[in-house]
Amino acid sequence: MSAALSAPSLSQPRDVDRRPDAVRHAGTDRYPDAREPLAAVVGANLQAPLVGGGEVRYANLDYAASAPALVEVAEHLEEILPFYASVHRGAGYASQISTSVYENARSVVRAFVGARAEDAVVFTRNTTDSLNLLAGCVPDGLDVLYLDIEHHANLLPWQARAHRSVGAAGTLAETLERLRAELEGGGIGLLAVTGASNVTGEILPLTELAALAHEYGARIAVDAAQLAPHRRIDMTGTSRADGTDTGIDYLAFSGHKLYAPFGSGVLVGRPDWLDAGRPHLAGGGAVREVRLESVNWAVGPARHEAGSPNVLGAATLARAAQALGALDPGAWHRHEQQLRDALVTGLGEIEGITVHRLFEDSESAIGVVNFSVIGHDAGLVAAYLSAEHGVGLRDGKFCAHPLLARLGLPAGSLRASFGLGSRLEDVERLLAGVRELRTHGLGIDYTVDEGRWVPAHDPRPFPAWAPNTPGTAGAAPCLVGE
């Protein structure tokens, strides 16, 4: 333990009324479409213990890290588990069923993102894995261009090959002009961008970015880890009057953010680079023929899916995609937008709170809000909200260090995020906790354990089956990141 922070004059947790602050925010009138969840998720009524005693329903505002599984996804998992077997290699009944489920998942994902009929659908571990795979397939002699606002998953894979980076401007319009100036110089084969910022939630203009890349003979790859769980995506795009293609060439996203519970991801895109690129893994299933000193690699998705694949991960990702594809777009947008508006408006009414954004002219954002509380370390605020209010949200640098640096937040910030299972009460609880912190301060003492703030004395129990492993409170890759 390297530091401690005490709550002055308070030796015991306060007896606080944690009911939603409905009088102050009149949420039921102002945000009617945000009152209830839009879909049923597993753990919706999970009870979280408080340091002062008692329990509250866990207010999960950390969807952008990993979303809870949809109930229908969990039910589908129970259906297919009895048939789980190795795919592509067995004549047995269960193997045939599993193979059919796995291969059909490609068709489901292709339809979900509006991909072209010829596009490859490659299953991976996650978005990071997908973009690393793509990095090994960009032809030699072509540079990759990316912005400084990217998640590390869409930044680090390109650093191992020829690349260029551009600093985003204060507006989207000027940022596009900076990219144009770099593309005009030639030699760029791929523009890699995020669909929606994992830090601020702002959505980038993918149609304009795709048209810009194609105008200069480059392709575009989109990190859709955050966008796919919140917006419909159409990879095909349209052809403008001048013939410019606005489609997306490569798209990557993850199951764990798409309400699927396993470590699965997918890369969808044009097959020529993927068929000619370096196989992502060397092993069984990725080959046509093997000799002792040489190999003839397969083409198609198999080229990059060596070994036994994550059948259940692909199946649950596909079922989640079907569920999102069946949502009413209007209801989906209203639910999320009202939650976001309620949080941004509420934070704006509390003195000492700053809500962060990247672009002055951004007009739309997903259910992600980034903010800071003056005078308080972000990690301490997150620990306080968890321990004293039963609210879970993210703090740190969110695996986007260059972006946090440009925002002037070298020590990190706070991120609240929500999705289909969120309700207005979650936002109200967060606002009540932040308001209480600004008005009365901390209710208990906190200390730093292995680099992370925790209650100095934490009586909250773990479930009997869950080990309380020492030191895990400070286990924080990406410096308390995502």
Catalytic positions, written as ranges: 399
Task: Write phi, then psi, for 195 (nearest 5 degrees).
Answer: -80, -40
| Calpha distance 172→342 (Å, rounded) | 25
C-alpha–C-alpha distance, residues 359 and 344, integer Å: 16
User: Taking the CB of residue 163, how many other CB atoms lie within 10 A of it?
Assistant: 18
Query: Which amino acid is located at 127 in the chain?
Result: T
In angstroms, the CA 241 to CA 332 distance is: 32
Q: Got the DSSP string for 186-221?
A: --EEEEEEESB-TTT-BBP-HHHHHHHHHHTT-EEE
Amino acid identity at 88: H
Structure token pair of residue 418: 């929500």
Q: Considering only CA atoms, which of 54, 46, 51, 26 is closest in space to residue 427?
A: 26
> Residue 309 has which token pair?
């694949």
Among 280, 256, 284, CA closest to 87: 284
Contact (Cβ atoms closer than 8 angstroms) between residue 56 and residue 47 = yes
The angle at the Cα of 29, spanning 26 to 33, to the nearest 5 degrees, equals: 115
Nearest to 370 by CA among 396, 350, 406: 396
**Per-residue b/e over 66-98, b at no fewer than 16 CB within 10 Å?**
bbbbbbbbbebbeebeebbbebeeeeeeebebb
